[in-house]
Structure 1
Amino acid sequence: MATTPWLTVTIEASTTHAQDASEAPPEVHVHPGGQGLWVARMAESLGADAVVCGPFGGEAGIALRALAEAEGIELRAVAYGGGNGVYVHDRREGERATVAERPAAPLDRHELDDLYGTVLVEGLEAEVTVLTGADPAHVLPRRCSPAWCATCARPAAPSSRTCRATPPARTRRPAAAC
């Protein structure tokens, strides 16, 4: 479960070898970010098939979905009126400087219900469900994390299903115990 996918924009110094480095245009990288998407990438790099459940909305959400899908990340997107968070970091001087940041808005109760239902359906099909944290934390009510773990810890039938307090990427193969 990716409770807070971020659209990340990073500006870096050019890696081209121009005679005058000040003349070389900077490199601009745009990526889908946030814990849930990073966990899914890691699980896939270990051979697992991951499915990311999360809220996607606003202009940032449209871009996030397109970028994640272009990377081959399977999504179960929940409509989100508040819109995803975005940050722009400038690393041209070697240190990260925040140029702009717009954090995600809290999910309303209907969006939370849709997210819970989506994660529950995907989680029941998974051998492992990973719950990642929310950044910023106010996107989810405080009561959410313990409820997720209680649901994961009580599967209907004996299985190898586990719950880690970190929203869910779903894996289909036990090779990646996230």
Structure 2
Amino acid sequence: MRRWRVPVFPFDRVIARGIAHQTAPAVERPLRLATLLADERLLLVLAIGIWVPAQSGPRRQRSAARHVLLSVLLSSVVPHILKRCFAQERPDRIEVRRRRRGIPRSGKALDSFPSGHAVQMGALAAALARIWPRYSVWSWSGATLIALTRVALLAHWPSDVVAGGALGVGVEHLVNSLERGES
């Protein structure tokens, strides 16, 4: 199947070029650890780990755990489908020449759009904010910081992360609508 080519915006290139020139291994190592917090496999394991014991709890707890699990599950599938439709070269392949200065080589070269980590973080933050609105500042702040590690590691352009985050919020909204029977 032929993939639609996604252009890179000029502001994306400016930001990526600045990161490529300013980075160092001491900065990149902690960012690589932080980005693992948005890994789809880890989030699925955690969501299942929350869902299983919640099944013996009160209805509200079961509902919240199901909502988080479905949001994480769907947000882990959607980016894989979209990456089969869209092609965009990753910034580390374009902006990093010889010396990588700690910047890891990330994923497949043409799988930049959308950021799967950002989709996951957008869906998870939206789900947590819906369940515990009182703590929404924390869920949105944490999700934003973790998603931005993808830009700092030059795995994604800033626009990939913004689009991924918005897509994740949309995924969570869809899950909420389906659970409420609205669609």
Identify the TM-score tier after normalising by the shorter chain: under 0.3
Larger % of strand: which? Answer: 1
TM-score by length of 2: 0.25
TM-score by length of 1: 0.26
Larger % of helix: which? Answer: 2
